[in-house]
């Protein structure tokens, strides 16, 4: 969440940055948080004064008792009892204010970076980079769900039978291609210096709050009521929470982690062709990259993460574009996000396959993840970043569609050693 010091000292700047999200409620929430904090701090001053008076009176009672002035001591005891009652009432009021303040801060999203364009929806996103020529398919080309059925790669109906819509079953070469992509992505992340982690697939509530999935995306996460756990929507959640309540050394950064996990999301978007096949699933596979960074280095690191994902897509011989998301399309916890979209030739549309984000101190403030600044001799919040490198379903869809021929599917050269085969026919 946003730091209180920042909101107090830079209220106008915070409101201006939040205005990029085109939501009139955020300035009101900022002002409410500042007001609650002011009341809380005033109450603390009053409470400190009462406690100081109470402590002095308690010492005076001891002195009076030692001098034999019991009547005066008993009278002062009555005053101390009154002070205790008032202090307890003030403490309860303070606790109520702190809870209201915390709840208010949780409702305020991250303040977008100055480079983020103002806008309400995806139509206001900025295209900043494109790569590759759009493929021209043969006359009988079909979308990936038909290819998956034709070559017995993915069984969508069997997934419906076993679980429900949005839970496909990969088979034969489809399963091997999926596994090959996962291994390729992990190998590339390892070459780039990321430590591989196998994290839990379920997290507790504190982890959800730590990275900003809660309370913002509570309705999109699968909840296990009996244990009060959540299925992860992305491995960003457990990876980043490794550093919850941790104070790092300055020379430990940047910390780089990667993980392959299944991901689970209840919200499956709109109905119709946009959710056909692999376009939008409740369960999908993803390789994630996460970095814990020094604030002075995080934007250079963001650029390197973007280059890493560019390299993956180019090796897969997929045309892609990069969008800088506008404020209204920006994730709740993100200060800036770049979306990668690959072109799906058979569907004649762009499919999002990765989001790369810098959260600055928004997550680390919730996580209480700091580092010891050697020069300033004090602790400071880290910056957190993450990116999909890559999400599997739409990558697989684009590979099947864009590389199809009259005689079968010709796989990208980079995958031949991973799959053990060059074509699907």
Give the Cα separation of 110 and 264 in Å (integer).
Answer: 24
Give the Cα separation of 318 and 312 in Å (integer).
Answer: 9
Q: Which two tokens stand for residue 366?
A: 């919730």
Give the Cα separation of 27 and 40 in Å (integer).
Answer: 20
* Binding residue numbers: 234, 265-267, 288, 352-355, 386
The string of pLDDT tens digits covering residues 371-413 is 998 777 789 999 999 999 999 999 999 999 999 999 999 999 9
Q: Identify which of 178, 54, 128, 99 has the alpha carbon closest to the alpha carbon of residue 336.
A: 128
pLDDT score for 273: 55
Averaged confidence pLDDT in the chain: 93
Instruction: Report which of residues 289 and 80 the model is more confident about.
Output: 289
Domains and CATH numbers, the chain: 4-106 (1.10.287.40), 122-424 (3.30.930.10)
pLDDT score for 219: 82
Give the Cα separation of 167 and 282 in Å (integer).
Answer: 6
- 419 pLDDT higher than 70: yes
Q: Please answer whether residues 147 and 402 qualify as being in contact, where contact means their C-beta atoms are separated by less than 8 angstroms.
A: no
Sheet holding 229-231, edge to edge: 202-204, 229-231, 223-224
Q: Please answer whether residues 414 and 187 qualify as being in contact, where contact means their C-beta atoms are separated by less than 8 angstroms.
A: no
Pairing of strands 336-344, 408-410: unpaired
Give the Cα separation of 43 and 97 in Å (integer).
Answer: 10
- 310 pLDDT higher than 90: yes
Which class for 317: exposed (0-12), middle (13-18), buried (19 or more C-beta within 10 A)? middle
Q: Which residues does residue 291 pair with via DSSP β-bridges, in sequence order? A: 256, 385
* Binding residue numbers for L-serine: 234, 265, 288, 386
**In which band, very low, low, confident or very high, does the pLDDT at 73 lie, cut at 50, 70 and 90?**
low
pLDDT score for 270: 46
pLDDT score for 71: 65
pLDDT score for 80: 76
- How many CB atoms are located within 10 Å of the residue 279 CB? 21
* Binding residue numbers for ATP: 265-267, 352-355
**Up-side HSE of residue 203: CA atoms within 13 Å toward CB?**
27
Q: Which two tokens stand for residue 85?
A: 């009652």
The string of pLDDT tens digits covering residues 16-27 is 999 999 999 999
Pairing of strands 195-196, 255-264: parallel
- 81 pLDDT higher than 90: no
Q: Which residue has the tokens 């970076």?
A: 113
Where would I find the beta strands (DSSP E) of 250-334? 255-264, 283-293, 320-324
| Percent of the residues in the chain that have a pLDDT greater than 90, as a whole number | 84
Global pTM reads 0.91
Instruction: Report which of residues 271 and 319 the model is more confident about.
Output: 319
- How many CB atoms are located within 10 Å of the residue 170 CB? 19
**Least reliable range by pLDDT among 62-76, 172-186, 379-393:** 62-76
| Percent of the residues in the chain that have a pLDDT greater than 70, as a whole number | 96
Give the Cα separation of 364 and 351 in Å (integer).
Answer: 30
Give the Cα separation of 12 and 22 in Å (integer).
Answer: 16
The counts of H helices and E strands in the chain are 13, 19
Give the Cα separation of 221 and 149 in Å (integer).
Answer: 30
The string of pLDDT tens digits covering residues 236-268 is 999 999 999 999 999 999 999 999 999 999 865
The string of pLDDT tens digits covering residues 193-229 is 999 999 999 999 999 999 999 987 778 899 999 999 9
Average pLDDT of 338-363? 96
The string of pLDDT tens digits covering residues 51-66 is 888 778 777 777 776 6
Q: Identify which of 265, 250, 76 has the alpha carbon closest to the alpha carbon of residue 165.
A: 265
Give the Cα separation of 362 and 2 in Å (integer).
Answer: 6
**In which band, very low, low, confident or very high, does the pLDDT at 109 lie, cut at 50, 70 and 90?**
very high
């Amino acid at each position: 969440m946003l730091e209180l010091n920042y909101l107090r000292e830079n209220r106008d700047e915070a409101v201006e940055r939040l205005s990029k999200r085109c939501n009139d409620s955020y300035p009101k929430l900022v002002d409410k948080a500042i007001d609650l904090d002011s009341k809380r701090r005033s109450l603390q001053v009053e409470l400190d004064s009462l406690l100081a008076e109470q402590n002095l009176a308690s010492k005076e009672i001891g002195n009076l008792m030692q001098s034999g002035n019991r009547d005066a001591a008993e009278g002062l005891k009555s005053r101390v009892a009154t002070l205790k009652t008032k202090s307890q009432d003030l403490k309860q009021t303070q606790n109520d204010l702190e809870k209201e303040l915390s709840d208010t801060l949780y409702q305020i999203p991250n303040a977008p970076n100055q480079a983020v364009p103002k806008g309400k929806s995806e139509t206001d996103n900025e295209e900043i980079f494109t790569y590759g020529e759009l493929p021209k398919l043969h006359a009988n080309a079909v979308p990936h769900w038909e290819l998956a059925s034709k070559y017995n790669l993915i069984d969508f109906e069997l997934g419906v039978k076993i679980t429900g819509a949005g839970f496909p079953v990969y088979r034969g070469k489809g399963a091997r291609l999926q596994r090959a992509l996962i291994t390729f992505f992990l190998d590339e992340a390892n070459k780039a210096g990321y430590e591989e982690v196998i994290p839990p697939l379920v997290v507790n509530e504190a982890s959800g709050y730590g990275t900003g999935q809660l309370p913002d995306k509570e309705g999109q996460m699968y909840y296990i009521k009996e244990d009060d756990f959540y299925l992860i929507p992305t491995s960003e959640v457990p990876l980043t929470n490794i550093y919850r309540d941790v104070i790092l050394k300055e020379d430990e950064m940047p910390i780089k982690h990667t993980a392959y996990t299944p991901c689970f999301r209840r919200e499956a978007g709109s109905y119709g062709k946009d959710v056909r096949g692999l376009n939008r699933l409740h369960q999908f596979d993803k390789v994630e990259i996460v970095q814990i960074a020094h604030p002075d280095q995080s934007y250079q690191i963001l650029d390197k993460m973007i280059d890493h994902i560019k390299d993956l897509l180019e090796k897969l011989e997929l045309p892609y574009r990069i969008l800088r998301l506008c404020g209204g399309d920006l994730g709740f916890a993100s200060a800036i996000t770049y979306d990668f979209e690959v072109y799906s030739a058979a569907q004649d549309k762009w499919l999002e396959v990765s989001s790369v984000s810098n959260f600055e101190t928004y997550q680390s403030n919730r996580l209480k993840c700091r580092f010891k600044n050697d020069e300033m001799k004090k602790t400071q919040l880290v910056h957190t970043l993450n990116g999909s490198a890559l999400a599997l379903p739409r990558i697989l869809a684009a590979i099947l569609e864009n590389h199809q021929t009259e005689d079968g599917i010709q796989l990208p050269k980079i995958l031949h050693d991973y799959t053990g085969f060059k074509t699907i026919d």
